[in-house]
């Protein structure tokens, strides 16, 4: 097989990490590690290049990290909102995705799109929108989180976890340290009715790096069957274990990484509408589904991880989220370095 060089990633879309080979993911993570240690050594990679950031949903870390990433690479990130653009929707006339994508490709060198659960009428619609933009764009389309996947977060996750299990954030990560570690994806009760994107991405990329994966959730909160199937296949390829459970504490036993997050049920959308308040009321009926110190005591001295923002007191207790084994801020920081690497490789031909 032809060895993949870094330049081969130029122009490549990133909508889900499952679309990329393990070697391609390694290239991103290795470069991200170098960029973290030598933060200002790549200041001309995107010189005179613009990255469009298309936000259907607001953000904190995503906008900040992409804007800083573009600046530190010598480029520019431009903020766009659909409400300020005449775009065609199911209910209004306007410019088609084909036309918008083709025109934006003439202006910029990359396009990021963020569209989450409350901006779509059914699960998967955001994924289809990104792939439609990718179909017509001649520049790389990068998911900044959509209703199905969050690839930048997934890459930041494994980078942070591997740092913790190696020598620490100030040293080069060793991806082999994740092999055989148990990742628990635990549903957490909460008042946000979150999409499945971050947890599904974590399952996929964790299993690509040889982790055993356990998904624990109450009945009615099952994730995408296709993603569960891919995760199981990834685990089988790496001789790792995959399991799902409805038991409250079983998944914590022997875990090395605990990822406790709320996500909506499979009945969240009805007649083209997200029943957000109904989802919140339903989720709050499961107060025992919180990551706390008692459950963490069942683990193998696990680290706590979360993509943020955290619904403290619901998804996780404060003493765990702010405790000595929490890697939430390291993972948040790694969004910057991972995204710099993605942009350098796909937009800069680095």
pLDDT of 7 reads 60
Question: What pTM does this model have?
Answer: 0.95
**Rounded Cα–Cα distance for residues 138 and 108 (Å):** 10
Residue 131 maps to a domain: yes
Note the helical H segments in the chain: 22-37, 61-72, 97-107, 125-136, 151-165, 197-208, 225-237, 276-283, 293-296, 318-321, 328-346
Residue 93 maps to a domain: yes
pLDDT of 88 reads 61
Shared domain check, 186 and 120 = no
pLDDT tens digits for range 3-24: 445 568 999 999 999 999 999 9
Shared domain check, 168 and 104 = no
Residue 18 maps to a domain: yes
Structure tokens at 196: 């499945």
DSSP track, 276-330: HHHHHHHHTT-TT--B-HHHHTTSSSPEEE--S---BTTTB-HHHHTSTTB-HHH
pLDDT of 325 reads 97
Shared domain check, 115 and 40 = yes
Shared domain check, 48 and 83 = yes
pLDDT of 90 reads 66
Residue 122 maps to a domain: yes
Shared domain check, 84 and 143 = yes
Shared domain check, 169 and 315 = yes
**Rounded Cα–Cα distance for residues 155 and 59 (Å):** 18
| Pair 279, 203: CB distance under 8 Å | no
pLDDT tens digits for range 257-272: 999 999 999 999 999 9
- Domains identified in the chain, total number: 2
CATH number, domain with residue 60: 3.40.50.1370
Q: 112 forms bridges with which residues in the sheet?
A: 53, 142
Q: Give the end-to-end CA distance of the chain in Å, rounded to a whole number.
A: 22
Spans of the chain, pLDDT less than 70:
1-7, 88-92
Residue matched to tokens 């900044």: 144
Shared domain check, 168 and 129 = no
pLDDT of 3 reads 46
Shared domain check, 296 and 170 = yes
Shared domain check, 185 and 282 = yes
pLDDT of 2 reads 46
Domain range for 273: 153-332
Shared domain check, 187 and 110 = no
Structure tokens at 266: 């499979």
**Rounded Cα–Cα distance for residues 198 and 143 (Å):** 12
Q: What is the largest CA-CA distance in the chain?
A: 56
Shared domain check, 127 and 78 = yes
Residue 190 maps to a domain: yes
Q: 79 forms bridges with which residues in the sheet?
A: 53
Residue 240 maps to a domain: yes
Residue 1 maps to a domain: no
Shared domain check, 161 and 265 = yes
pLDDT of 1 reads 36
């Amino acid at each position: 097989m032809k060895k993949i060089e870094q330049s081969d990633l130029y122009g490549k879309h990133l909508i889900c990490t499952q679309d990329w080979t393990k070697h391609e993911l390694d290239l991103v993570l290795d470069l991200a590690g170098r960029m973290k240690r030598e933060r200002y050594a790549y200041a001309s990679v995107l010189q005179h290049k613009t990255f469009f950031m298309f936000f259907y949903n607001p953000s904190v870390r995503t906008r900040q990290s992409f804007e800083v990433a573009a600046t530190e690479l010598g480029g520019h990130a431009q903020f766009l909102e659909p409400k300020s653009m005449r775009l065609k929707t199911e209910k209004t006339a306007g410019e088609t995705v084909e036309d918008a994508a083709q025109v934006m490709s003439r202006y910029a060198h990359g396009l990021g799109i963020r569209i989450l659960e409350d901006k779509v009428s059914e699960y998967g619609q955001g994924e289809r929108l990104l792939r439609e933009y990718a179909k017509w764009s001649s520049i790389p389309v990068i998911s900044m989180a959509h209703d199905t996947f969050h690839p930048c977060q997934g890459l930041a996750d494994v980078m942070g976890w591997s740092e913790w299990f190696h020598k620490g954030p100030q040293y080069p990560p060793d991806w082999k340290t994740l092999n055989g570690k148990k990742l628990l994806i635990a549903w957490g009760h909460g008042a946000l009715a979150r999409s499945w994107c971050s947890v599904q991405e974590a399952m996929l990329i964790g299993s690509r790096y040889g982790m055993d994966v356990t998904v624990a959730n109450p009945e009615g909160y099952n994730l995408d069957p296709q993603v569960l199937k891919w995760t199981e296949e990834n685990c089988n390829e790496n001789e790792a274990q995959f399991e799902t459970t409805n038991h409250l504490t079983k998944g914590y036993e022997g875990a090395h990484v605990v990822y406790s997050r709320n996500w909506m049920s499979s009945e969240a959308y009805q007649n083209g509408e997200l029943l957000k308040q109904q989802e919140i009321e339903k989720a709050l009926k499961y107060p025992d589904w919180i990551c706390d110190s008692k459950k963490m005591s069942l683990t193998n001295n696990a680290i706590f991880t979360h993509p943020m923002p955290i619904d403290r007191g619901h998804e996780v207790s404060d003493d765990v989220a702010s405790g000595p084994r929490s890697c939430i801020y390291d993972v948040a920081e790694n969004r910057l370095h991972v995204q710099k690497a993605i942009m350098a490789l796909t937009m800069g031909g680095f």
